[in-house]
Structure 1
Amino acid sequence: MGRLTTHVLDTCNGCPAAHLDLQLWRMEGNQARLLTGCKTNADGRCDAPLLEGVTMVSGEYQLHFAVGSYFAARGIALPDPSFLDDVVVQFGISNTTEHYHVPLLVSPYGYSTYRGS
């Protein structure tokens, strides 16, 4: 069964990014529709897949990670405005029977992502 998951790691502090807000959006032409959101758990993951079963539909999606708020809550001194506020990862799902995993490694001044397993 296909599903979409994510995992956020804080490379500045060397730990999972716990209590980070994120949202999943589906692109419909030039419009984006909010599908769901969650706050990461102590391991930097959502407690349930963001998509699975009948909600796993092929198309273009965006994950919005509220990294500026996360680092501010951790007491990291950030400039105003911060260099990174929301990190948006746009990706496509073509095969709804596969597992799509979108990890985010983030610091206040940079990030990386890839399709994980």
Structure 2
Amino acid sequence: MSFSTHVLDAATGRPAAGMRVRLEHDGRTLAEGRTDADGRITGWEPGNGTNRVVFDTGGPFYPEVVVAFTVTDPAEHHHVPLLLSPYAYSTYRGS
């Protein structure tokens, strides 16, 4: 079971480097860190069931973005990208 994310600043067209991110499961923090120079985090392990990835965006309107996702097959890789702009964000299940 593995988890990764990629955060992009859609307003600038650049990766969101240095953003604090944490992975939570059952009220516990499983992993936390900062995105690398390419806006990525890889190699984290989510828990079975519902997980939350919390992006500390520090934005004026969205200071954080929380994305909940469910792990039903522990053998699958789970990739949750985040696209940010000052007043909007989007996410999807990546590959």
Per the alignment, residue 92 of structure 1 pairs with: 70
Match runs of 1:38-117 below 5 Å = 38-46=33-41, 48-51=42-45, 56-68=46-58, 82-117=60-95
TM-score w.r.t. the length of structure 1 is 0.76
Q: Which runs of 5+ in 1 are unaligned?
A: 72-81
Partner of 1:22: 21
CA distance in structure 2 between the aligned counterparts of 1:41 and 1:57, rounded to whole angstroms: 23
Q: Which runs of 5+ in 2 are unaligned?
A: none
> Match of 2:70, SS?
strand
Higher helix share: 1
Q: 1 CA distance for matches of 2:67 and 2:82?
A: 9
Between Structure 1 and Structure 2, the one with more strand by share is 2
Which structure has the greater CA radius of gyration?
1
Deviations 1:26-50 (A, max 9, x none): 0x3xxx111110100011002x411
Between the two proteins, the alignment pairs up a number of residues equal to: 95
Report the equivalent of 1:9.
8
Alignment pair present for 1:34 and 2:21: no
Identity %: 44
Secondary structure in structure 1 of the residue aligned to 2:39: coil
Equivalent residue letter for 2:30? L
Deviation at 1:62, TM superposition (A): 0.5
Runs (4+) of structure 1 moved beyond 3 Å?
A: none
RMSD, aligned α-carbons:
1.2
